[in-house]
Chains A and B, each alone.
Chain A
Amino acid sequence: MKKIINTIYLFMVYAFLYIPIIVLIVNSFNVSKFGQKWKGVTFKWYGELLDNDSLIQAAIHSLTIALISATCAALLGSLMAIALYRYRFKSKNFIKGLLFVVMMSPDITMAISLLAIFTLISIELGFFTLLIAHITFCLPFVVITVLARLSGFDIRMLEAAKDLGAKEWTILSKIIMPLAKTAIMSGWLLSFTLSLDDVIISSFVTGPSYEILPLKIYSMVRVGISPEINALATVMLVFSLLLVVISKWLVREKIR
């Protein structure tokens, strides 16, 4: 009895989370432009999507930023985590504090602060400002994930390595990095998700030279209903799922 209620409840919550997305996906095949009634299957919206160069461009930009910033954040964040874990230095608390500020700041606060500095140094808003912004807000999440993993290390293992003559670089590259791999990869995945999903910060720090998805969609939605967006949503979802499946498959191969 309890099991049935539990299952129904889970189902309802998942339904809540997925129905709007399912509506998008379904409507991407719907002949009717307004998506209010089902009028038949069509692929024409996908066709219009492919024709809509600027939208595709924006989507590719978003994906590119997500991939690059996730990778950079994963690297930089891992370095930070290692520094915090292994080294003693005066500014440790300062760094921890700053990372905390980033994590706790509402996106909007971060957004305007970044815009402020970019304006100050007169850098043109575009790819690089966007990249820097995304890396910055992903950092704390990577640091926390990797740091948690490092804290679980047996310190004696590292001492043993030193005892056997390993230099710092060797310890980092041959012991710490491999063992922290899963944490680094979860950090990457998390960063990728956050980057792809971001609307607020991206709205502030990018410019017309590098259009990304949120702003493009915003302008399209303002004007009216745009069924190509449904098609786009479906494509993005499928692509991301494929990415996860591939990465899981790659991990499995490595375990073998």
Chain B
Amino acid sequence: MKTKCFNIEKLIIGIVLGWLICFIFIPNLMIVITSFLTKDDANIISLVFTLDNYLKLLDPMYVKVLWHSFYMAAFATLFCLIIGYPFAYIIARMQIKFRFFMLFLVIVPFWTNSLIRTYGLKSVLGTHGLLNKFLLALSIIDKPLHIMYSEYAVMIGLVYILLPFMILPLFSSIEKLDNCYLEAAKDLGASRWQIFRRIVLPLTIPGIIGGCLLVLLPALGMFYVADLLGGAKNLLIGNVIKTQILNMRDWPFGSATSITLTLVMAFLLYIYWKISQKIHKKVEMEI
């Protein structure tokens, strides 16, 4: 009996470990190593150690692109937060039977591929598209807006694809909020706004940060949104990496850019961890 126990355990752990090492550990390790190597036209890479790839990123041209990418992603995250928070709040306070259906409706669009949806967005944002027609009809504007191939189009596209990733963590955090705190605040004389500012907001910060991370990080890499909606002038970091790896076959440089992106991500996660530690000390809630 004991040997069989032992075997199944070992088997499962073996499979699990094997898969993870093969397809996660080693590949990522390879990228880290490659980022310090040199490009070789014949063999893709040559084993010559160099820091050139990282230094190249400090070139003003690349800095500009990276900064612009970050700027677009950050704004997209902000808009997701502004749009998503009230939405998550309203749904979290609905009756249980409605709640999950409402969330389900948010997820359904994902069952057309994101690319297709971005394509659909393209026709809505165009000069003769639905948005302009709508705004012109209501006389809000008198000339069609040229949104396509601008950074705004990219931002709208990012928000469009990533909004659910902001809504879900927010919803989870807001739902956990015990109603008795809101009632206690009301009982003590707080107006709706004061309740929001002093009770709801502080207690949902974990959800806010979680949502921001789940939007910001992917946003930096979504090259297809930039491709379809942004044109050549509005690139995301993802586009840079894609071009380097797939088009120019410059693995070292592409790897370096990717590692830089990873470091940014690690840094943001570190901040998230630090903030949640601070809150954890105060509140002792699950994050």
Asked if A and B bind, the verdict is yes
- Residues of A at the B interface (CB closer than 8 Å) are 6, 9-10, 13-14, 16-21, 23-24, 27, 35-36, 62, 76, 79-80, 82-83, 87, 89, 91, 95, 98-99, 101-102, 104-109, 112-117, 119-120, 132-133, 136, 139, 167-169, 172, 193, 196-200, 203-204, 213-214, 217-218, 221, 229, 232-233, 236-237, 240-241
A240: chain B residues at CB < 8 Å are 108, 111-112
Q: Pick the residue among A35, A83, A139 that contacts B12 (CB under 8 A).
A: A83
* Contact yes or no, A21 B90, CB < 8 A: no
B25 at the interface (CB under 8 A from A): yes
The contact of A120 among B8, B17, B30, B113, by CB within 8 Å, is: B30
Q: Is the CB of B4 within 8 A of A168?
A: yes
In the complex, which residues of chain A have a beta carbon less than 8 angstroms from the beta carbon of B27? 113-114, 116-117
The residue that B119 contacts in the complex, of A36, A113, A167, A229, with Cβ under 8 A, is A229
Nearest neighbor of B246 in chain A, beta-carbon distance: A204
Is the beta-carbon distance between B12 and A23 smaller than 8 angstroms?
no
Tell me, yes or no, whether B184 is within 8 Å of chain A by CB. no
- The residue from A23, A108, A214 contacting B113, defined by CB atoms under 8 A apart: A214
Decide if A199 touches B23 in the complex (CB within 8 Å). no
Question: Contacting A237 at CB < 8 Å: which of B107, B112, B129, B213?
Answer: B112
* Interface 9-mer from B173-181, B196-204, B255-263, B276-284: B255-263
Interface size, chain B (Cβ < 8 Å): 77
Determine if B116 is an interface residue (Cβ-Cβ < 8 Å).
yes
B14 to chain A, nearest CB (A): 10
Ordered by A's residue number, 18 sampled pairs between the chains whose C-beta atoms are within 8 Å are: A13-B163, A24-B123, A76-B16, A83-B13, A104-B217, A104-B269, A106-B261, A112-B254, A113-B27, A114-B23, A117-B22, A167-B5, A168-B4, A196-B110, A197-B111, A203-B246, A221-B119, A236-B112
5 smallest beta-carbon distances between A and B, as pairs: A240-B111, A20-B120, A113-B27, A108-B221, A106-B221
> Chain A residues near B261 (CB, 8 Å)?
106, 108-109
* Cross-chain contact B109 with A17 (CB below 8 angstroms): yes
Q: Per a CB cutoff under 8 Å, which of B114, B120, B217 touches A197? A: B114
Determine the distance from Cα of A200 to Cα of B218 in the docked complex, in whole angstroms. Answer: 10
Q: Evaluate contact between A112 and B31: CB separation under 8 angstroms.
A: yes
Residues of A with C-beta under 8 A to B4: 167-169
**Chain B residue, CB-CB nearest to A87:** B9
Q: Is B70 an interface residue (CB 8 A)?
A: no
A204 to B117 CA separation, bound complex (whole angstroms): 20
In whole Å, how far is B163's beta carbon from the nearest beta carbon of chain A? 7
* A41 smallest CB distance to B (angstroms): 18
> What distance in Å separates the Cβ of A110 from its nearest Cβ neighbour in chain B?
8
- Residues on B lying within 8 angstroms of A by beta carbon are 1, 4-5, 8-9, 12-13, 15-17, 19-28, 30-31, 34, 44, 83, 86-87, 90-91, 102, 105-117, 119-121, 123-124, 128-130, 160, 163, 213, 217-218, 220-224, 227-228, 237-238, 241-242, 245-246, 251, 254-255, 258, 261-262, 265, 269
User: Binding site of A, secondary structure by majority: helix, strand, loop or mixed?
Assistant: helix
Q: Write the chain A residue with the least CB distance to B33.
A: A116
Q: Are A107 and B1 in contact (CB under 8 A)?
A: no
B1 neighbours in A (Cβ, 8 Å): 167
With A13-B87, A14-B105 known as contacts, the answer to whether A24 contacts B31 (CB < 8 A) is no
Q: A175–B218 Cα gap in the complex (Å)?
A: 38
Measured between beta carbons, the chain B residues less than 8 angstroms from A133 are 23
